Amino acid sequence: NVNLSVPSGSYGIQLLGKKKSKSDGSDSGEENMSKKYLVLKQAIDQINTSHGKGSIMFVGECASPRQVPMVSTGSFALDIALGVGGFPKGRVVEIYGPKASGETNLALHVIAEVQKQG
């Protein structure tokens, strides 16, 4: 899968640019951004066709949100920050950070949560 984050969807796309003078016959910044957006949209459509729908999309755009079972981290704030309520079950998750920042502690809390769930 290819991951690409481009602001769109519920956030909208703002086409910003400085307008060039019409005297030189060039496109305005807005028209130039519109062309770039169309090329990007075509690339995304091509990737979705070749790799399957949902393999790449605009941020905030989700055709069919998947409900994946989660394991809480043991920290409500971290679960919220992850955006999905914890770590997905059955997936490999890498926890990393600077030395003594709590990676092992977090891993042990997640292990405890899994053991509680059975």
Indicate yes or no: pTM above 0.85: no
Please check whether residue 33 is in contact with residue 16, taking contact to mean a CB–CB distance below 8 angstroms.
yes
What are the residue ranges spanned by the domains of the chain? 1-65, 70-117
Q: How far apart are CA 69 and CA 59, in angstroms?
A: 22
For 65-109, give the DSSP string.
Answer: -----EE--S-HHHHHHHSSSSEETTS------STTSSHHHHHHH
Encode the chain (118 residues) as per-residue pLDDT tens digits.
444 444 444 444 444 444 445 555 555 778 888 888 899 889 988 888 888 877 777 766 665 556 778 898 888 898 888 878 889 888 888 999 999 999 999 999 999 989 998 8
CB-side neighbour CA atoms (13 Å) of 98? 1
Q: How far apart are CA 11 and CA 23, in angstroms?
A: 34
Q: How far apart are CA 12 and CA 105, in angstroms?
A: 40
